[in-house]
Amino acid sequence: MYYKQLGDIPRKRHTMFKKEDGSLYREQVMGTRGFSGTQSILYHHYMPTEVRKAELVGSYLPQYEDQSPLMHRHFLTNKIAKKGDALASREYLLGNSDLLIGTANVTEAMKSYYRNGDGDEMLFIHHGSGKIETMFGSITYKPGDYVILPIGTIYRVLPNQDVATKILFIESFSQITTPRRYRNEYGQLLEHSPFCERDIRGPEKLEVFDEKGEFEVLTKSRGHIHSHVLGHHPLDVVGWDGYLYPWAFNISDFEPITGRIHQPPPVHQTFEGHNFVVCSFVPRLYDYHPEAIPAPYYHSNVNSDELLYYVEGNFMSRKGVHEGSITLHPSGIPHGPHPGKTEASIGKKETLELAVMIDTFHPLKIVKSAGKIEDNQYMFTWNE
């Protein structure tokens, strides 16, 4: 990320920064990798360590299904009935030691604040609009937004009430960044990157709350949710600067890389974390070699599981998937276009599909409750 500053800060870090009454603002250094990674410095009205009550709420870890046959899987997330705020409505579907993946149907504003103490979070907004209040400032969101929330960021989601917010989320146990191959040695996105810093939106407005009282922050850490009741409003930051902050990028700003023949999936990569990548399939022109086959070739995921979340459009290589479908093509067995899709793609000039792909380099486990929304015949849909 690039340097950003909002609000009021002193000219020199780690020096006195006084309020009008002569008392000090409280400086907090928020950094990763033991102060050798990205970091920001925040200035609070009150001590960020002030906690009046701490309680264990309970485990958040999902229960995974027992070993099952190695199969391609298809989950229909539109069948999930759970609703509520952006935390209570989360439905875990898949996961491993590197990340958890699921969806949420957000119909209410969060009353408590929340922070992930285990790693970064990614919220992909499928439907709906609203605002995410954070300690770094607020970010408005709309359909197609990827919102990246760094580890330790206190926030809450406030959806607009006209349309429910549907989210595909990743709870990572690592930092989520732009792909390394698209950055130069100084961290700037290169000319051949499919997007650039101009497409990235940081916090838009720093809303400062100078309030005492009791405010709950739910903290996810070490396999459990913990409740911390602060003695002041958690969004009491008057200013900050640095390289660590929440940001948003809309999938419509991803510029697809095309060629004369079919391009491999890495050209769609948008983000990376530890042992996983996120890719964006967006409307694009098809391959333009006179004998090109636009549909993907059959391939084996030798070292990765491939998950696709279908956003909108007619996905060129699949039959029977719907908006909100999730398909999982695990490592160890090949997959590719459904019968007839290869032939049907020949001569086509463009695709209008929109989908998010998550490739993991350790096998994904299926959450037990996901069986309730599964299409059990998906493995056999390649039979002609």
Q: CA–CA separation, 331 vs 325, rounded Å?
A: 20
Q: Is 349 left (phi over 0), alpha (psi -120 to 50) or beta?
A: alpha
Nearest CA to 367 out of 88, 58, 77, 108 is that of 77
Count the helices and strands in the chain (H runs, E runs). 1, 28
189 contacts 182 by C-beta, under 8 angstroms: yes
Neighbours of 55 (CB within 10 A): 11
Q: How far is CA 346 from CA 78, 264, 313, 381, in A?
A: 32, 18, 18, 21
Average pLDDT over residues 348-372: 95
Tokens linked to 234: 């958690």
pLDDT at 34: 87
Residue 187 has, within 13 A of its CA and on its CB side, a CA count of 7
Specify the 3-state DSSP secondary structure of 197.
Answer: helix
- Percent of the chain clearing pLDDT 90 (strictly above): 91
- State yes or no: pLDDT of 237 exceeds 80: yes
The 10s digit of each residue's pLDDT in 185-196 is 999 999 999 999
Strand order in the sheet with 39-44: 4-7, 237-242, 39-44, 26-31
Q: CA–CA separation, 273 vs 325, rounded Å?
A: 23
The 10s digit of each residue's pLDDT in 287-324 is 999 999 999 999 987 789 999 999 998 776 677 899 99
Mean pLDDT for the chain overall: 95
Nearest CA to 288 out of 352, 345, 349 is that of 349
- Mind listing the domains of the chain with CATH numbers? 50-60+78-236+243-250 (2.60.120.10), 255-380 (2.60.120.10)
Average pLDDT over residues 108-135: 97
Q: Give, for 73, the enclosing helix (H) or strand (E).
A: strand 73-76
Positive or negative, the CA dihedral 324, 142, 163, 209 is: positive
The 10s digit of each residue's pLDDT in 245-291 is 999 999 999 999 999 999 988 999 999 999 999 999 999 999 999 99
